[in-house]
Amino acid sequence: MHFPILTMPTCPKCGKGNFGIKEFQVQDANFRHYAIMCTSCGCVVGTETMQDDERINQIMAKLNGLEIELNNIKSSLMRHGIY
């Protein structure tokens, strides 16, 4: 069985292999954005996004509140024979 030889990633600009990550701003973005950068020359070699967990939790709380309200309306309609 033949396995490919794994190599370490290298920067396309300077050829070195040390990388870091830094957050950057994207206008009107709903997620945090990060640049994966060469620590030697600063060349950006990739990007990642991270969801804003606090915002997701806020949305989930609102949806849960709406679900409770809808269930209350449904129960009220059922009591009155409308549903």
Residue 7, pLDDT score: 79
Of 56 and 41, the one with more pLDDT: 41
Q: How confident is the model at residue 3 (pLDDT cuts 50, 70, 90)?
A: low
Q: How confident is the model at residue 11 (pLDDT cuts 50, 70, 90)?
A: very high
61-71: b or e for each residue (b if 16 or more CB lie within 10 Å)? eeeeeeeeeee
What is the mean pLDDT of the segment spanning 58-81?
A: 93
| Closest to 47 measured CA to CA, from 63, 78, 25, 66 | 25
pTM for the model: 0.52
Strand, coil or helix: what is 52? coil
